Amino acid sequence: MMKIAIMGAMIEEVEPFLNLGEHEPLLKYFKKHNDVNYGGNLYHEAKYKGLDIVLGYSKIGKVNAALTAATMIEKFGAEQLLFTGVAGAVNPSLKIGDLIAATQLCQHDLDITAFGHPHGYVPEGKVYVEPSRELLRIAKSVADEKEIALKGGVIATGDQFIADPERKKWIETTFDADAIEMEGAAVAVVCDQLNIPFFVLRAISDTADTDATFDFDEFLKHSSQVSSSFVLAMLDKIADGQDQ
């Protein structure tokens, strides 16, 4: 039985999977759940259509995201990882509410250019990490069936919430980036190094400009619902594939 990790950065990004009771969260779609506190985080183990599931959120930032991804893989035995959440657009063609699946991820705040390396690169590493082509194929199938205009593109990650148009333009130009957020590339590096297929889906919640704070607060809940619904449909297809 395959074990799938479902991960977000904030409680709001995984909240659509949960029924938040008065005292403890209860899983909304999954069965036979077991809650595990580990490393300062709460993880939910459950079952869904023949799949083992581990669900959790990391808290914001690259370090937290890398810790949570590694925990899901090493402690809970996740064999694939699906990341769901929200991002800011840097590509002007992306609008609030659009879904984007990462085709590549990079770290826009990683800078050792003083040693002659390009932005986003460290020795023995690479600037761009690529998600699972099979999971991208499944995502496209879901999008086609739901008639959703799923976009693919480069997602740039850094430990800053970008609300500066000049910085936004620099990230777009330097990395050919389409969207920015604060966790995806860290998760990508962990999964890549541990040979775990992964997929990063982001719903555009703001346009990464001077109105970012307002837009983020306004659209976070709706965007999280959209991206979580999409991930659930991907789980259906993964489960169906196990039966074939």
Catalytic residues: 13, 206
Beta bridge partners of 181: 157
Burial string for 118-153 (b: 16+ CB within 10 Å, else e) reads ebbbeeeeebbbebbeebbebbeebbeeeebebbeb
In whole angstroms, what is the distance from residue 18 CA to residue 23 CA? 13
Within 10 angstroms of residue 214's Cβ, the number of other Cβ atoms is 10
**Three-state SS at 70:** helix
Calculate the dihedral angle through the C-alpha atoms of 63, 64, 67, 72, rounding to the nearest 10 degrees.
-150
Specify the residue for token string 């826009």: 108
Within 10 angstroms of residue 221's Cβ, the number of other Cβ atoms is 14
**Three-state SS at 56:** strand
**Three-state SS at 54:** strand
Cβ pair 150, 227 in contact under 8 A: no
**Three-state SS at 129:** strand
Residue 197 phi, psi (nearest 5): -60, 135
Q: Shortest CA distance to 153 belongs to which of 88, 213, 205?
A: 88
